[in-house]
Amino acid sequence: MSTVIQHIETLLVDLPTIRPHKLSMTTMACQTMVIVRMRHSDGIEGLGEGTTIGGLAYGPESPESIKRNIDTYLAPLLVGQPSNNVHQLRARLHRHARGNMIAKSALETALLDAQGKRLGLSVAELLGGARQDHLPVLWTLASGDTAKDIDEAMLRLEQRRHCDFKLKIGANPVDQDVRHVAAIKEALGDRASVRVDVNQAWDESTAVRGIQALQDAGIELIEQPIHAREHAGLVRLANRFNVPMLADEAVQDARDGLDLVCGGFNGAFALKIAKSGGIYGVLELAHVAQAAGIGLYGGTLLEGTIGTAASLHAWATLPEMAWGTEMFGPLLLKDDIVVEPLNYTEFEWNCRKGRGWVSPWMKVN
């Protein structure tokens, strides 16, 4: 008899951040994660996570809607189904439910975790094998205070934990944000790279002025300066400046990636398993980017350890992450739901072998 999915439970878990995390659309002092526990008839439990930023401030899914839609609509599509054909179950979810990509990602990663545990393989091995066992991880400076951000960056450098930094801007007038970023870059000098994330806060004319000033200040990458739907404007900005543009909210899946490439975009893509509906969807986008010569960046929605581990196993299967990763989510939280955290040393994440992507030593508390 084939193994079937017996029960799916969702839990909302609130964890405070180590300091306020200021974005263009909200300031976070707590992260709410949706944890999926998927039990199978062979006794194996797969774990998944669906996490977003700032309730509904960032996108159309909130923690509460993720939990409710899994419980009410998505879990019934999976319970009683055979466990081992992840592709078939993924297709079933997409056929019967539109959108809800974070919720679908949480379920898909729980399926992959269970399959890895069943076969004694990591998820990276399920996907064909890891090409990298070390991935660089940057740190986001988002206190909103220039002096505090400089001190925080200096501490991370001394700890040898991060040597690349991203600044969240867009909540303030552009000139104020540029002064803030330029001061931090000047303080760090050549010791660290500095990038910015505008989180869609500017219109195109403001972006032209802001990007020119940021380029002059030595900033290395500009993430999503204008609205996600303004593909043509993002292409114009990418072609106008030497500093690369990073498409994030503008590139949800492989179709978005193809549209940007065909439109002449020459920047980089931010990959996120949550916005692509899971690992398989995000790897489809990565393959489009690779075929077009677009650089890749491993993005986060500030997931905890479970979601971060799932993302890292996906990134590890790719030949190169030209712009590194920002999989620092667990480090931003005061607590964790696993006994042993991920291994961040020497400015990188170091892969440990295990079954699934939640390794045997990472037991949920």
> Which of 67, 166, 168, 185 is an active site residue?
168
Q: How many helices (H) and strands (E) does the chain have?
A: 13, 13
Q: How far is CA 313 from the centre of its chain?
A: 12
Q: Where are the alpha helices (DSSP H) in 120-162?
A: 123-126, 146-158
Close Cβ partners of 293 (under 8 Å, ≥ 6 residues apart): none
Contact 142, 23 (CB under 8 A): yes
Whole-angstrom Cα distance, residue 75 to residue 93? 9
Close Cβ partners of 212 (under 8 Å, ≥ 6 residues apart): 241
SS3 label, residue 252:
coil
Contact 225, 249 (CB under 8 A): no
DSSP assignment string, 281-311: HHHHHHHHHHHHT-EEEE--S---HHHHHHH
Whole-angstrom Cα distance, residue 191 to residue 289? 30
- 109: nearest Cα among 365, 301, 358, 298: 358
Whole-angstrom Cα distance, residue 6 to residue 116? 18
Backbone angles phi, psi at 31, to 5 degrees: -115, 130
> Which of 49, 152, 223, 326 is an active site residue?
326
Would you say how long the chain is, in residues?
A: 365
- 119: nearest Cα among 86, 84, 91: 84
Q: Where are the alpha helices (DSSP H) in the chain?
A: 63-69, 75-78, 86-96, 101-119, 123-126, 146-158, 174-188, 204-216, 231-240, 254-262, 279-292, 305-316, 329-332
- 168 as an active site residue: the answer is yes
Close Cβ partners of 335 (under 8 Å, ≥ 6 residues apart): 15, 16
> Which residues on adjacent β-strands are paired with residue 16?
30
Whole-angstrom Cα distance, residue 352 to residue 350? 7
The residues assigned a catalytic role are 168, 326
